[in-house]
Structure 1
Amino acid sequence: MSLLRDAITPPMSAARAQAIAQSFDLRALPADFLANPYPVYAALREAQPVRCMPDGSVFLTRSSDLVAVYRDAQSFSSDKHVEFAPKYGEGSPLFEHHTTSLVFNDPPLHTRVRGLIMGALTRRAIAAMEPGLTMLVDGLLDEMDARGGGDLIEDFASAIPVEIIGNLLNVPHADRGPLRAWSLAILGALEPTLTAQQQADGNQAVSEMTAYLRTLVAERRRRPGDPEHDVLTRLIQGEAGGEQLREVELLQNCIFLLNAGHETTTNLIGNGLILLQEFPEARAGLLHALRETAGDAAAQEAVLGRAVDEFLRFESSNQLGNRRAVKDTQVGGVDLPAGTLVTLCIGAANRDPAQFAEPDVLNLAREGNKHLAFGFGIHQCAGLSLARLEGRIAIGRFLQRFPHFRLSDAPTRGGRARFRGFLRAPFLLV
């Protein structure tokens, strides 16, 4: 098991972590950092919690500093026009998408779009999704059972959110095939540095997705769905008596929903199941807790809920966030002039010993888990309750069905700094 554990998250010496931290630059990240960034995060948090990088931006690693920035929406903007113009080129598909989507905007657009989405993600609406989600998960498990195994990512983790978000937008099943590839290309373009090929792939994915959505939106305008459950219909119709979204806002936020709901939840489920392979003691403890609570639905939900939150803390699906100082301000005792770009390292904050006891221990029974995997403040993830439900159902029913599954080969990481997950993870049933 130690060989498998080392293959999943290769160890890094303290000397190597210090060396990377001393010259840390998001635009020049070595491969061993991408495989295991946490020792570097720890070194930065200890010596340079507000790290000034070569391009003039700052990199934050303490939980308290991230929370302070999240809270202060008056001093820190989420708008990315200034940063994305040189990165993508003004007028490019990637520029139009990422500067129009919910996550990279401030009020009033952010407020309007978030309100429309939240209206379809009420507690009652999410509870109504559970039977269909359970049926979907069980069907995927049946298929893997018949084959004696499969791939945790391709055959399971990535298939679940594609269907759930596809259902929310009422995307016809026959049209869902390209969604994962489009998502990987568009979100991959958010990495700190891009190759020409990555940029071309991202632009092409936005163009193809936008063209498809224009057709879908036109059809939904002719035949509206139920706005209580169909997010696309809600976005088209807007709030009663309120301002409707412009066409570009509508299309780009549909892309955002499909991508954000897909990638981060895929990573949550995949990371969780692979962590159970990496840490067999934690896996044994979780299985014991599930056996002890068998027959008590509320108790099982609580056990799995704590486990899902710990997976999110320990291996945050989204490792990095961004803000821009819109006025002279201060973070962590460091003065920031107006215009300073700020990277919020969620992955580092979620391993901060000032916030979490034994932060590098996977404790699936951890209480009071105030992780930042969903962000905080006005930009906290709108779909967090849905993501938690997907994680509980997917991981819980997988373990119920295949408690002794094992990886048949080392999993393949995505090799990205912002979104931490796996591309492939072959496994066998035992």
Structure 2
Amino acid sequence: MTEPLAALPGVRPAGRPFDPPAELARLRAEQPLWRLVFPDGHVGWLALSHGLVRAVLADPRFSSRNELQHYVLADAGELPPAQPGDLGGVDAPEHTRYRRLLAGKFTVRRMNLLAERAEALTVEHLDAMEAAGPGADLVEAFARPVPAMMICELLGVPYADRAEFQSMAATMGEANATPAEQFAAYDALAAYIRKLVSDKRAHPTDDLLSDLTGTDLTDEELGNLGGFLLGAGLDTTTNMIALGTFALLEHPGQLALLRADPGLAPKAVEELMRFLSIAHTGGRTALEDLELGGRSIRAGESVALSVQAANRDPERFPDPDVLDLTRDATGHVAFGHGVHQCLGQQLARVEMRAALPALVTRFPDLRLAVAPEEVPMRDGLDVYGVYGLPVAW
């Protein structure tokens, strides 16, 4: 039997910031499932093919429970059980209960209203960029504030509090913030959301959090759900808008296609999600002995899921290393798959479909203000992206 891999391949090719580590493609071509030594010493598995990653995500015999996981990106020690209201770290029946309560709140009507707000917020921030220009850090000026304000719309954060809310959210993702500052910002946001829950119970408005106060969820569950939605919806969309813009600037032919036809945005967003796969690696743990890809998985063994390798699998996507905005990229696993598939994926799509075409059409000569290799990349974290994106026009 092949010796286990000593570590998850994590070094991206020099000068190719949008591509996964090349070692992943080599390993996937040899076999789709490998034994892997996790950072805490656990010997589990690494799934690399599109078919196997989807199979694990769809199989209830694999668990998402926090306390059963072995973290593949660093030695996180023994993980505690998820807090009440944390959708990502629980299985059925807890997950089913939360999911059912939330799913009905992401209605077509609410998504249509949020689409209108996304378009308005996009224009508002592009106006501000143009007035302050002719250059900006796209993360600070556009990619972070638009999704932050959309989260405010979703949760019903009062207008008077939004500047403070955005400031706390920005500190959580700031490259120069110390860990203590980031933890303090997270604690402040958590405290704010708990207070917001209390306010919504007393004075409900037309927003998701107010709707949920009419359910049997406790204040603790509501507060943690709000925090979960914030964490799941802000950092990811911020980095997709920023890294997606970087990728378009480095692929001028594709940028020209989107600029010439903003109606291409829905396809463009799916292809950028597939191509960039910013939430690049996930994991599940087997609840019982089972077979996967012809190999025997024992109960308690964790399987690391390489989303970026799955989304570049040539068995599923021809010429997978080519960015092609006209491609039908449906079936990608950038939003996950199965019962834990990203609940806010429609909101993320709404934001990106509004932001990207509007940005590139407003500034027809948009360009990097630094050399590509000088863009500060967010590497080694759960979500890949950029700390900043200096642009000019």
Q: TM-score, normalised by structure 2?
A: 0.87
For structure 1, which runs of at least 5 residues remain unmatched after alignment? 1-20, 189-196, 239-243, 291-299
* Residue 216 of structure 1, CA deviation: 1.6
**Aligned-partner SS, 1:176:** helix
Q: Which amino acid aligns with 1:47?
A: E
Q: Which amino acid aligns with 2:361?
A: Q
Do the aligned partners of 2:274 and 2:333 also contact (CA within 8 Å) in 1? yes
Q: What are the Cα deviations for residues 270-326 of structure 1, in whole angstroms up to 9, with x where unaligned?
A: 122111111112222333334xxxxxxxxx1xx110111000000012112221100
Cα distance in 1 for residues equivalent to 2:187 and 2:329: 43
**Aligned-partner SS, 1:237:** coil
Do the aligned partners of 2:249 and 2:255 also contact (CA within 8 Å) in 1? yes
Do the aligned partners of 2:118 and 2:354 also contact (CA within 8 Å) in 1? yes
Do the aligned partners of 1:271 and 1:311 also contact (CA within 8 Å) in 2? no
Do the aligned partners of 1:265 and 1:317 also contact (CA within 8 Å) in 2? no
- Paired residues for 1:131-142 under 5 Å: 131-142=116-127
Cα distance in 2 for residues equivalent to 1:145 and 1:114: 41
Q: Which of 105, 108, 123 is residue 123 of structure 1 equivalent to?
A: 108
Cα distance in 2 for residues equivalent to 1:59 and 1:417: 18
Cα distance in 2 for residues equivalent to 1:336 and 1:206: 37
Taking a change above 3 Å as real, the CA distance of residues 117 and 403 of structure 1, as seen in their structure-2 partners, is: farther
Cα distance in 1 for residues equivalent to 2:365 and 2:4: 42
- Paired residues for 1:221-232 under 5 Å: 221-226=201-206, 230-232=207-209
Taking a change above 3 Å as real, the CA distance of residues 48 and 24 of structure 1, as seen in their structure-2 partners, is: farther
Q: Which of 183, 191, 211 is residue 234 of structure 1 equivalent to?
A: 211
Q: Which residue of 2 aligns with 1:213?
A: 193
Q: Provide the aligned length of Structure 1 versus Structure 2.
A: 373
Taking a change above 3 Å as real, the CA distance of residues 344 and 90 of structure 1, as seen in their structure-2 partners, is: closer
Q: What are the Cα deviations for residues 93-119 of structure 1, in whole angstroms up to 9, with x where unaligned?
A: xx655x851112112221222223222
* Residue 221 of structure 1, CA deviation: 1.7
Q: Which residue of 2 aligns with 1:46?
A: 29
Cα distance in 2 for residues equivalent to 1:67 and 1:408: 39
Q: Which residue of 2 aligns with 1:156?
A: 142
For structure 2, which runs of at least 5 residues remain unmatched after alignment? none
* Residue 182 of structure 1, CA deviation: 5.8
Do the aligned partners of 1:310 and 1:362 also contact (CA within 8 Å) in 2? yes
**Aligned-partner SS, 2:300:** coil
**Which sits farther off after the overlay, 46-55 or 164-173?**
46-55
Cα distance in 2 for residues equivalent to 1:150 and 1:22: 46
Q: Which residue of 2 aligns with 1:62?
A: 49
Q: Relative to total residues, which structure has the larger helix share, 1 or 2?
A: 1
**Which sits farther off after the overlay, 308-317 or 112-121?**
112-121
Do the aligned partners of 2:310 and 2:333 also contact (CA within 8 Å) in 1? yes
Q: What are the Cα deviations for residues 346-404 of structure 1, in whole angstroms up to 9, with x where unaligned?
A: 11100000000100000000025321111111111111111111111100111221122
Do the aligned partners of 1:113 and 1:235 also contact (CA within 8 Å) in 2? no
Q: TM-score, normalised by structure 1?
A: 0.80
Do the aligned partners of 1:154 and 1:423 also contact (CA within 8 Å) in 2? no
Q: Which residue of 2 aligns with 1:241?
A: none
Q: Which of 151, 165, 168 is residue 165 of structure 1 equivalent to?
A: 151
Taking a change above 3 Å as real, the CA distance of residues 51 and 421 of structure 1, as seen in their structure-2 partners, is: same
Cα distance in 2 for residues equivalent to 1:66 and 1:90: 23
Q: Which amino acid aligns with 1:49?
A: P
Q: Percent identity?
A: 34
Cα distance in 2 for residues equivalent to 1:84 and 1:167: 35
Q: Which amino acid aligns with 1:171?
A: V
Taking a change above 3 Å as real, the CA distance of residues 342 and 22 of structure 1, as seen in their structure-2 partners, is: closer
